[in-house]
């Protein structure tokens, strides 16, 4: 059979591809599997063994399933029900709002397209716990700025917007994930060839029909990948249930598990690990199903051998309304940062009022320079996050390429290895990596920023892999075949054909990993030390000391960094012809 759509071409790195004597592509596949195995399996082994190790006070630990039993019995049916409603609700809402924003930004001529991207990136720049407090200060029932304004301006009584409770949890979790959904779907929509939609329109399909039957179908690999990511992360999220759910007496599985870890004098990681393993078992079927979708040859490919002009849909009279939507979404995302921005000029946080204008100063920003830890933390944070992002993108893109182009059964190992860390709770992963490098002293990473880079590499590998994998589903193999026919080597195909074609996805993955590595708190708490301070640990120190204004000042600096990255991303995509 001639190579073509769905033919399942074998990619080989050797120039004489397909080689009958020696398949260097297979060697490359196994080398990648080995590298990923070395990176990911040791923490997973720790997770598994911790889940099966039952620790007892003043008695030796033993192997058993008690942690699983405890995790499941502690939660009960009602908490499972609430957790599922919370996870499904927040992921669907995030996909609906973020997906619409991504489609408008990538495929239409709506106003404010660049603003939406920068807003999404800025909103991802500060730790979730800081933003969570920002939301409470904004929407809290007693002195929340928005509720106060609604009561004062409109004369409303009671609590106009109820933050604490399941509805508030779903909304805030969705808002936290909108930028991620936006960022992950943007490349998929950007790389979509409009010829198919035009053909459908020419055949008499209405706009809604085109979107439902063509656009969404073509984007389905990316949509499913994003839906899975948001669902799994919502199942695992504990900041929002802790901050927003607890005051409303709503509990999820993670708050119960979090309590079980922190309730005693020794952290009980067994139940948390058992929960993580259960979650992994729960999501493995949809994960494999989504990979199968993406593997089905060129069904979703829209970038083929023929060039296309990424024409935008003219929204006509709806252009301004779409622009308002694209402006409102980022404004909602950065709202908690706005309250921190206000706080960053005050000696102590007070709700915004005209009376406080006389107290505003730059003292908090000046004081940052007096703390050598902050400068070192900024430098280490940027270096760590940059290195982690480069490594994740490099390894994940190669793994995704091999997983989507090779035909051997062993390619599934790439899917599985890259998906395992999805279920790692941050604190358990941190402990696993700590123990790993304490016992592998011949690898001199302990106590350096190298150990942080490694931990972030493991943590964010699934995201890099999913983003690249979904993007590769839209890239027809015929492009690579054409390059081979013209004499390109395997590496040449990878670097000169594949990489440029999925560059928006690679850039999105890089920025996603970079920003999340900067703001992640769970790993630095376990792994950072006096010789490798990170900006996240500095934020946590200031937070524990109650220095909200100083935290606000750092958050604003990080937001400026994120805005700069947004500008770079826009410039890069424009250079590659995928400008939004």
545 contributes a contact to other proteins by CB under 8 A? yes
Measured from the Cβ of residue 339, the count of other Cβ atoms closer than 10 Å reads 23
Q: Provide the angle, in degrees to the nearest 10, between the axes of the packed helices 166-190 and 319-343.
A: 120
Instruction: Determine which residue in the list 6, 8, 16, 76 makes contact with other proteins, applying CB under 8 A.
Output: 76
Pick 392 or 540: Cβ nearer other proteins: 540
- In whole angstroms, the minimum distance from the beta carbon of 436 to other proteins comes to 10
Three-state SS across 267-325?
CCHHHHHHHHHHHHHHHHHHHHHHHHHHHCCCCCCCECCCCCCCCCECCHHHHHHHHHH
Residue 493 near residue 484 (C-beta atoms within 8 A): yes
496-535: contacts with other proteins (CB under 8 A): 525-526, 528-531
Nearest to 302 by CA among 181, 195, 404: 195
How far from each other are the two terminal CA atoms of the chain, in whole angstroms? 39
34 contributes a contact to other proteins by CB under 8 A? no
Pick 97 or 432: Cβ nearer other proteins: 432
Pick 462 or 549: Cβ nearer other proteins: 549
Point out which span in 19-27, 175-183, 490-498, 541-549 binds other proteins (CB under 8 A).
541-549
246 contributes a contact to other proteins by CB under 8 A? yes
- In whole angstroms, the minimum distance from the beta carbon of 168 to other proteins comes to 13
What is the distance between the alpha carbons of residues 160 and 176, in angstroms, rounded to a whole number? Answer: 22
537 contributes a contact to other proteins by CB under 8 A? yes
Binding mask 97-136 for other proteins (x = CB under 8 A): --------------------------------x--xx--x
Point out which span in 199-207, 247-255, 393-401, 452-460 binds other proteins (CB under 8 A).
247-255
- Interacting residues of 248 by C-beta distance below 8 A, sequence separation 6+: 164, 165, 166, 168, 169
242 contributes a contact to other proteins by CB under 8 A? yes
Q: What is the DSSP letter of 60?
A: E
- In whole angstroms, the minimum distance from the beta carbon of 376 to other proteins comes to 11
- In whole angstroms, the minimum distance from the beta carbon of 579 to other proteins comes to 41
Nearest to 478 by CA among 491, 492, 493, 500: 493
Please give the helix or strand (H or E) that residue 173 lies within, else none: helix 166-190
- In whole angstroms, the minimum distance from the beta carbon of 543 to other proteins comes to 7
82 contributes a contact to other proteins by CB under 8 A? no
Measured from the Cβ of residue 564, the count of other Cβ atoms closer than 10 Å reads 12
272 contributes a contact to other proteins by CB under 8 A? no
370-409: contacts with other proteins (CB under 8 A): none
446-475: contacts with other proteins (CB under 8 A): 446-447
262 contributes a contact to other proteins by CB under 8 A? yes
Q: What is the DSSP letter of 266?
A: S
Point out which span in 15-23, 197-205, 238-246, 275-283 binds other proteins (CB under 8 A).
238-246
* 434-441 contact pairs (CB < 8 A, 24+): 434/526, 434/527, 435/46, 436/42, 436/43, 436/46
- In whole angstroms, the minimum distance from the beta carbon of 267 to other proteins comes to 5
- In whole angstroms, the minimum distance from the beta carbon of 73 to other proteins comes to 9
Residues in the chain: 580
157 contributes a contact to other proteins by CB under 8 A? no
Instruction: Determine which residue in the list 21, 155, 265, 369 makes contact with other proteins, applying CB under 8 A.
Output: 265
Report, in this order, helix, strand and coil percent for the chain, each rounded to 5. Answer: 75, 0, 25
Instruction: Determine which residue in the list 114, 267, 286, 386 makes contact with other proteins, applying CB under 8 A.
Output: 267
What is the distance between the alpha carbons of residues 414 and 36, in angstroms, rounded to a whole number? Answer: 8
What is the distance between the alpha carbons of residues 11 and 475, in angstroms, rounded to a whole number? Answer: 14
Instruction: Determine which residue in the list 57, 59, 153, 208 makes contact with other proteins, applying CB under 8 A.
Output: 57
Look up residue 120 and give its two tokens: 């999404």
439 contributes a contact to other proteins by CB under 8 A? yes
Pick 137 or 562: Cβ nearer other proteins: 137
Instruction: Determine which residue in the list 25, 99, 140, 179 makes contact with other proteins, applying CB under 8 A.
Output: 140
Pick 296 or 545: Cβ nearer other proteins: 545
208 three-state secondary structure: helix
- In whole angstroms, the minimum distance from the beta carbon of 537 to other proteins comes to 7
54 contributes a contact to other proteins by CB under 8 A? no
What is the distance between the alpha carbons of residues 196 and 193, in angstroms, rounded to a whole number? Answer: 7
Residue 222 near residue 143 (C-beta atoms within 8 A): no
56 three-state secondary structure: strand
Give, in order, the Cα–Cα distances in Å from 176 to each of 179, 182, 333, 506: 7, 11, 7, 22
Nearest to 197 by CA among 186, 178, 212, 184: 212
- Residue indicated by tokens 């399909």: 205
488 three-state secondary structure: coil
Instruction: Determine which residue in the list 1, 2, 38, 142 makes contact with other proteins, applying CB under 8 A.
Output: 142
Instruction: Determine which residue in the list 541, 563, 568, 572 makes contact with other proteins, applying CB under 8 A.
Output: 541
Pick 242 or 513: Cβ nearer other proteins: 242
Pick 37 or 76: Cβ nearer other proteins: 76
280-319: contacts with other proteins (CB under 8 A): none
Instruction: Determine which residue in the list 6, 18, 500, 546 makes contact with other proteins, applying CB under 8 A.
Output: 546
Provide the binding-site residues for other proteins, judged by CB under 8 A.
57, 76, 129, 132-133, 136-137, 140-144, 164, 242-243, 246-247, 249, 251, 255-256, 259, 262-263, 265-267, 347-351, 431, 434-435, 438-439, 441, 446-447, 525-526, 528-531, 537, 540-541, 543-546, 548
């Amino acid at each position: 059979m001639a190579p073509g759509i769905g033919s399942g071409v074998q990619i080989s790195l050797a120039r004489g591809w397909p080689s009958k004597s020696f398949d260097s592509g297979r060697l490359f596949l196994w080398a990648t599997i080995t590298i990923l195995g070395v990176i990911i399996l040791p923490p997973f082994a720790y997770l598994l063994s911790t889940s099966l190790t039952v620790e007892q006070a003043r008695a030796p630990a033993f192997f058993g399933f008690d942690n699983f039993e405890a995790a499941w019995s502690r939660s009960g049916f009602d908490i499972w029900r609430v957790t599922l409603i919370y996870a499904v609700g927040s992921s669907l809402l995030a996909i609906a709002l973020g997906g619409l924003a991504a489609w408008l930004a990538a495929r239409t001529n709506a106003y404010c397209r660049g603003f939406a991207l920068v807003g999404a990136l800025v909103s991802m720049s500060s730790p979730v716990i800081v933003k969570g407090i920002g939301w409470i200060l904004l929407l809290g029932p007693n002195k929340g700025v928005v509720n106060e304004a609604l009561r004062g301006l409109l004369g409303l009584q009671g609590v106009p917007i109820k933050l604490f409770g399941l509805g508030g949890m779903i909304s805030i979790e969705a808002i936290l994930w909108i930028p991620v959904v936006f960022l992950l779907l943007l490349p998929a929509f950007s790389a979509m060839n409009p010829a198919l939609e035009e053909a459908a329109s020419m055949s008499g399909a209405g706009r809604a029909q085109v979107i439902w039957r063509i656009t969404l179908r073509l984007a389905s690999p990316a949509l499913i990948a994003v839906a899975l990511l948001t669902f799994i992360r919502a199942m695992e999220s504990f900041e929002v249930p802790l901050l927003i759910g607890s005051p409303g007496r709503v509990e999820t599985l993670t708050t119960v598990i979090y309590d079980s870890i922190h309730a005693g004098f020794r952290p009980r990681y067994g139940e948390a690990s058992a929960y993580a393993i259960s979650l992994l078992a729960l999501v493995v079927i949809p994960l494999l199903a989504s990979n199968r979708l993406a593997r089905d040859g060129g069904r979703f490919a829209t970038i083929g051998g023929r060039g296309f002009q990424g024409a935008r849909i003219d929204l006509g009279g709806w252009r301004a309304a779409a622009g308002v939507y694209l402006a409102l979404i980022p404004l909602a995302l950065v709202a908690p940062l706005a309250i921190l921005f206000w706080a960053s000029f005050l000696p102590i946080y007070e709700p915004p009022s005209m009376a406080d204008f006389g107290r505003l100063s730059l003292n908090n920003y000046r004081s940052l320079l007096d703390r050598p830890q902050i400068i070192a933390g900024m430098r280490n944070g940027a270096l760590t996050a940059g290195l982690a992002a480069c490594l994740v993108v490099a390894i994940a893109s190669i793994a995704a390429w091999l997983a989507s182009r090779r035909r051997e059964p062993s390619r599934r190992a790439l899917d599985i290895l890259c998906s395992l860390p999805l279920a790692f709770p941050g604190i358990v992963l941190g402990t696993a990596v700590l123990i790993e490098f304490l016992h592998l002293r011949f690898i001199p990473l302990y106590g350096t920023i190298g150990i942080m880079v490694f931990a972030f590499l493991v943590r964010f590998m699934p995201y890099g892999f999913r983003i690249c994998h979904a993007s590769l589903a839209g890239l027809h193999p015929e492009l690579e075949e054409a390059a081979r026919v013209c004499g390109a080597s395997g590496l040449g195909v990878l670097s000169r054909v594949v990489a440029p074609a999925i560059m928006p996805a690679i850039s999105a993955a890089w920025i996603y990993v970079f920003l999340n590595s900067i703001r992640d708190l769970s790993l630095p708490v376990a792994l950072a030390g006096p010789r490798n301070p990170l900006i996240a640990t500095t934020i946590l120190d200031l937070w524990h000391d109650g220095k909200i204004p100083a935290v606000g000042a750092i958050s604003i600096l990080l937001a400026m960094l994120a805005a700069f990255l947004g500008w770079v991303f826009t410039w890069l995509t424009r250079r590659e012809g995928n400008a939004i």
